[in-house]
Structure 1
Amino acid sequence: MQQLLQSHFGFSEFRPGQEQVVTAILNGQSAAAIFPTGSGKSLCYQLPALCLPHLTLVVSPLLALIQDQINFLKSKGIAAASIDSAQSREEANDVMRGVRTGEIKILMISVERLNNERFRQFIAEVAISLLVVDEAHCISEWGHNFRPDYLKLPRYQQELNISQTLLLTATATPKVIQDMGSKFGILPENVILTGFYRPNLHLAVKGVRSNEKIDVLSHWLQSRLNSSGIIYVTLQQTAEQVAAQLSARGIAAKAYHAGMSSDVRQSIQHEFMSGGQGIIVATIAFGMGIDKSDIRFVVHYDLPKSIENYAQEIGRAGRDGGESDCLVLANGDNLSTLENFVYGDTPEPSGIAVVLKEIKKAASNSTGSANPQWEIVLNSLSNQSNIRPLSLKTLLVYLELLNIIKPTYSYFAEYKFKFLIPEAEVVEYFKEERRDFIRALFSTADRAKIWSSVNFDALNQHYASDRQRVLKAINYLDEKGMIELQSKQMTQVYQVLDSQFDEQALTVTLSSRFSDKEVSEVARINELVALFTSTQCLSRQLAHYFADEQMIQDCGVCSACRGEPAIFPPALYVKPLNEYDFHQVCSAAVVKLGTACTPVLLTRFLCGLTTPMFTKLKMRSCPGFAQFEKYRFADVKSWATTNLPGMAML
């Protein structure tokens, strides 16, 4: 291990925790590395990958994070690659060839890649030594970035016969740590925590009125103009505004957010990484995968979403060990915005009922079958039920946990191909039975001028063959450059385990579960406010929140320790809701929504929250949209509930 550490990575010794994790992996055990941001979690799989006999498969939540890791590994002479949607067909095929031959030791993918039938068919044929789950807190419903697709990873581990798993995260509470470990059967002694506290980060929270923020920030930056730093904001338009205001004051700052084109974002990121641009004003779209060691400050111009998000974002500062400042400009003005994001994700009972009816319908259409199946296209079901796609995925996971449905497989409903060499040449490439099969595959395809679509049913009538053989054949032809293959319309197939459920009772149960999650998320915001307004040591509270019991003394340098606890200024005045004319504000929306209009749906409209139905009806252009975005969701809902019945009678 020491030799590899020196020869490949240029380090003479391990950082805290690394050697324990690497040893566990090389001893054939699974492990979890819970280290602070920038503490070298990645080495815990990179070094073992050089020793393990087969592929190391790394699942990561973000493309930028994957690309950053690939570049680092290649710079160290380690054969690593990724498969992602940004690649050309030729690039993806080259990677697959490298994986098959064993030339590539580390393959990095997003968790969504495992929903791809073609990819699963390919990876099932590859021997895998280690599954690495980056940002592993995403697997826990109690984590701050819960992603339902992560819940499928234990099943994929079993299906792909991967004997070992390594979980990596920087931000996990005790509850999340226990949840992660149990899902992958990791022994408690192989869960390695190195402590959360980093003494080089100086935390400060300052209560500032919204209209004074830019003045306070400009003054604070004057002594830091030659340093690299990130200023985090909540909204894209705020990023543009703050960057422009700072530039007007002679402080060179650039905005960065997901609304920009990919080329512009990459250019700004490159400038920042190379030192050409010192200050970035960004939404949280900027940060994941940013491995710049000399970031000297992180400012939160708006409140972060949660303590976990705050910890992750300040963790990007001072990775070189140098002194770094982390400032929050705090007030309660955007608390309503943060809360409203939570309410926007909660499905209405009527939407849940639509999904349950579809399950019953699928089961009744499979009368006589021992294993009735339910096929869905996520976006279509999202539009039909008016439930956001991520919330719909969560609902489907809840139904799995209640043993109502069981995921079996997913597939693309359509496979299209066009010939890159004459069809006759492709057929003649094969001999005997294989030639007959390929000829039947082509002859039964649905033909258009250039593209043809595989017709599985027609093929099966003329030439008995299972779906997997067809997929293997068309993927092979694609890899060989004989055809160009395209696949679309992802269809997920579930087995209906229980179709005798009580629709009404189950709707109430599921609605209650989402309500509990809603309460939990709002409580998370309140925990954040409690931390920032506390008179106790900020660093010590943060460490304990993340299961670090090693910090038993106050840091002495945070704003609370210095006797400067944050006091939130009084909230901005907003006109009482009962002084608004309900008919004047809401009539256009009520008419446009028609019979679908409910107090909750109207509240989402008034608070500026989007739903699939709003997109379809173009509600953003309707008068009144987002008029009450500064108000609390619960207050607007109460106002709408009181007034809507009276309007319906007019």
Structure 2
Amino acid sequence: MHHTLKRVFGFDDFRGGQQAVVERVIEGRSTAAIFATGAGKSLCYQLPALHLPHLTLVVSPLLALMQDQLAFLKRHGVAAATIDSSMERDDVREVMRRARSGELKILMVSVERLRNERFRRFLEQVAISLLVIDEAHCISEWGHNFRPDYLRLPDYQREFGIPQALLLTATATPAVIRDMQERFAIAPDDVITTGFYRHNLELLVEPVASDDRPNALYHWLAPRQQPGAEEPTIVYVTLQQTAENLARQLSQQGLRARAYHAGLDGETRDTLQQQFMSGEVPCIVATIAFGMGIDKRDIRNVVHFDLPKSIENYSQEIGRAGRDGEHSRCLVLANRDALGVLENFVYGDTPEPGGIRYVLESIRQAGHSEMRQWPVVLNTLSRESNIRVLPLKTLLVQLEMRGLIRPQLAYLAEYRLQYLIDSSDLVARFEGERARFVTLLVEEIPVARRWGTVDFERLYQAGQRERIDASRSRVISALEYFQQQGWLVLEGKRLTDVFEVLTPEFDIEAQAAALSDHFQAKERAEIERLNTVVTLLESEYCLTRRLAEYFGDDHFTRADTPDRCGHCSVCFGRIARLSAPASLPALTSADFSRFAQPFIERHREQLATGPGAIRITRFLCGLSMPIFTPLKARQLTGFARLEQYPYSDVYRWVEQQSMHHD
């Protein structure tokens, strides 16, 4: 183990917690590593992967995170690869070939990839020693970044016969850690936590009025961005537009700053990331899309221009500073003005009760069919129910947990192929029953121009007539084999999840009410999470201690340690008081007529019914809903006109105005 550490990775010794995790994984025990950001979680799977007999499968939520780790592994000569949607078909085939042959030690994929029928068939052909789950806090529904697909990971582990799992995260409260342990049957002794205390981070909170923030930021940054001695700096903002505007202002004032956000194309983002890593761009103004997996050890400053979304986000983002152990500053330019905008994002993820009822009615209808199967194309159901994709996934998981449905399989609804050799040559490569089967495929998959579309029902019926097994699974296996041999190109699309309806008879109204209550409880929890950030920033005692307590870190509770860190605003004698948000003009009936009425009229024209208060409120607050796309709601002048107002205030006002206008 130590030999590998030195020979492959070039390290003389393990860092805190790493050895304990690596030993447990090599011994075959499922383990959880709760390490502070930058504490070296990745090595905890990279080193054991070289000692385990088979493939290590790494599931990660972000492509950028995978690419950064992949580059590190390749530099150190470790056989690692990734499969993602940006890759060419030939490259994907080559990765799969290397995995099947055993020459690949580490394969990284997104969690969504595991729902892909063809990828799952591939995994069934590969021996896997270890399932690694990066950002593992995403498995907890009450964590700060819940991803519904993560809840299926324990099932996937069982399905593919993977003997052990390694869970990695930097941000998990004690409750989230218990959730992780329970779902993967991890013993208490196999949870390794390094603690969240960072002695080299100076935590600063400066209350600043909204209008003064750009100027305050410039004056704080300027001494730290002297030409030739610019300190690597990340400035975090909430909105893409803020990133663009702020970067432009700083540039005009002579600082080398660039904006980074998800709205930029991939090539631009990659270039910016490389320029930041090299020091060519010393200051990045970014949404939280920036920083995940970036291992730049000398980031000296992390500034939150807007309030962090949660204490977990704050901890993760400041954790990108000072990974080299040198003194670094983390500044929040704090006020309550942005709180309303952040809260509004939370409301945007709560499904309308009518959308929940639509899904329940679809399930009950499917439950009365002969097979009790409910096929779901996620984007289609999202559009029909008017529930955004992420909360819809959460709803489906809730329906599973309540015993109404159970996932059976996922498949690509449409396949098409293009021959790379003559179809007669393809048939000639086989004999006997196999030749008859391949002849059937060639005859029953007609090619128009270059591409042929696979009709599984047609193939099955033709097979019945010829007494040939032309089942869907056999057809796909054959076509994938032909693709591996380079005889044809196979493409699939429209992922369809098939659920078994377990309880066709259920009370729709009771279930809809219970599910609405669940989503509203999540809504309240997220709002409380935001308020907890404000409570932390206004703390009257050591910020570092408060942060450690939130994550259950006992650094400040041990008898031999002080109760003050000595390097935060409070310890410097500056307790922050965040002023109330600026008052906004009172909303009037005229505002309703001007901003809401055109949307109401278009809704009635196109859907033959008026929108409810929730839908009008989300339109006015600029929160996306699937229904807004066909209605072209964003083109109306009222869209997002009240985004600065608290959602709850706008909702109450809309209810009052709707009564008068009706």
- TM-score scaled to structure 1, two decimals? 0.98
Give the AA of the match of 1:117. E
Q: Which residue of 2 aligns with 1:524?
A: 529
SS at match of 2:556: coil
SS at match of 1:145: coil
Q: C-alpha offsets along residues 586-630 of structure 1, whole Å, 9 cap, x if unaligned?
A: 210111122140001000011010100011211011121111111
2: distance between equivalents of 1:160 and 1:7? 32
Q: Which residue of 2 aligns with 1:537?
A: 542
Query: Which of 622, 634, 638 pairs up with 1:608?
Result: 622
Q: Which residue of 2 aligns with 1:244?
A: 248
Q: C-alpha offsets along residues 440-487 of structure 1, whole Å, 9 cap, x if unaligned?
A: 122112432221111111111222233222211111111222111110
How is 1:146-185 mapped onto 2 (pairs within 5 angstroms)? 146-185=146-185
Kept after mapping to 1: 8 A contact 2:378/2:496: yes
1: distance between equivalents of 2:364 and 2:540? 55
Q: C-alpha offsets along residues 254-284 of structure 1, whole Å, 9 cap, x if unaligned?
A: 1111111111111111111111110000111
How is 1:590-605 mapped onto 2 (pairs within 5 angstroms)? 590-594=600-604, 595-605=609-619
> 94-103 vs 569-578, which deviates more?
569-578
Alignment of 1:290 onto 2:318: no
1: distance between equivalents of 2:50 and 2:260? 37
Give the AA of the match of 2:519. F
Q: Which residue of 1 aligns with 2:502?
A: 497
Kept after mapping to 2: 8 A contact 1:346/1:391: yes
SS at match of 1:165: strand
Alignment of 1:584 onto 2:589: no
**How much has 1:207 moved relative to structure 2?**
0.5
1: distance between equivalents of 2:511 and 2:409? 25
SS at match of 2:623: coil
Structure 1: which 5+ residue stretches go unaligned? none
1: distance between equivalents of 2:580 and 2:457? 67
2: distance between equivalents of 1:444 and 1:502? 45
SS at match of 2:594: helix
1: distance between equivalents of 2:15 and 2:392? 41
Kept after mapping to 2: 8 A contact 1:296/1:318: yes
CA spacing shift, 1:103–1:633, aligned 2, 3 Å: same
2: distance between equivalents of 1:570 and 1:382? 38
SS at match of 1:51: coil
How is 1:207-606 mapped onto 2 (pairs within 5 angstroms)? 207-225=207-225, 226-366=230-370, 369=371, 372-463=372-463, 464-552=469-557, 553-578=563-588, 580-594=590-604, 595-606=609-620
2: distance between equivalents of 1:642 and 1:187? 54
Kept after mapping to 2: 8 A contact 1:115/1:410: yes
**How much has 1:647 moved relative to structure 2?**
1.5
1: distance between equivalents of 2:481 and 2:375? 27
Give the AA of the match of 1:67. Q
Give the AA of the match of 1:358. S
1: distance between equivalents of 2:531 and 2:204? 18
How is 1:628-639 mapped onto 2 (pairs within 5 angstroms)? 628-639=642-653
Give the AA of the match of 1:471. I
Q: C-alpha offsets along residues 72-91 of structure 1, whole Å, 9 cap, x if unaligned?
A: 11111110011111111110
Query: Which of 623, 641, 657 pairs up with 1:627?
Result: 641
**How much has 1:152 moved relative to structure 2?**
0.5
2: distance between equivalents of 1:7 and 1:551? 38
SS at match of 1:612: coil
2: distance between equivalents of 1:393 and 1:448? 37
Q: C-alpha offsets along residues 87-113 of structure 1, whole Å, 9 cap, x if unaligned?
A: 111101110110011100111110011
Give the AA of the match of 1:306. S
Kept after mapping to 1: 8 A contact 2:410/2:498: yes
**How much has 1:580 moved relative to structure 2?**
4.7
Kept after mapping to 2: 8 A contact 1:57/1:130: yes
Kept after mapping to 1: 8 A contact 2:539/2:576: yes
**How much has 1:125 moved relative to structure 2?**
1.0
Q: C-alpha offsets along residues 120-178 of structure 1, whole Å, 9 cap, x if unaligned?
A: 00011111110000000001001111000000000000000011000000000000000
Q: Which residue of 2 aligns with 1:643?
A: 657
Kept after mapping to 2: 8 A contact 1:589/1:623: no
Alignment of 1:33 onto 2:47: no
CA spacing shift, 1:334–1:579, aligned 2, 3 Å: farther
> 146-155 vs 220-229, which deviates more?
220-229
Kept after mapping to 2: 8 A contact 1:446/1:455: no
> 579-588 vs 431-440, which deviates more?
579-588
SS at match of 2:246: helix
Q: For this pair of structures, how many residues does the alignment match?
A: 644
Give the AA of the match of 1:597. P
1: distance between equivalents of 2:619 and 2:353? 18
Give the AA of the match of 1:524. R
Structure 2: which 5+ residue stretches go unaligned? 464-468, 558-562
1: distance between equivalents of 2:50 and 2:211? 55
Kept after mapping to 2: 8 A contact 1:80/1:106: yes
Q: Which residue of 1 aligns with 2:466?
A: none
**How much has 1:573 moved relative to structure 2?**
2.1
2: distance between equivalents of 1:571 and 1:391? 30
Kept after mapping to 1: 8 A contact 2:201/2:567: no
Sequence identity percentage? 53
Give the AA of the match of 2:656. T
Kept after mapping to 1: 8 A contact 2:351/2:391: yes
Q: Which residue of 1 aligns with 2:135?
A: 135
**How much has 1:569 moved relative to structure 2?**
2.7
Kept after mapping to 2: 8 A contact 1:379/1:389: yes
**How much has 1:26 moved relative to structure 2?**
1.3
Alignment of 1:618 onto 2:632: yes
Give the root-mean-square deviation of aligned CA atoms: 1.1
Kept after mapping to 2: 8 A contact 1:206/1:565: no
Give the AA of the match of 1:172. A
Alignment of 1:45 onto 2:50: no
- TM-score scaled to structure 2, two decimals? 0.96
Kept after mapping to 2: 8 A contact 1:340/1:607: yes
SS at match of 1:384: helix
Give the AA of the match of 1:283. T
> 230-239 vs 216-225, which deviates more?
216-225
- Structure 1 runs of 4+ with >6 Å offset: none
Give the AA of the match of 1:598. G
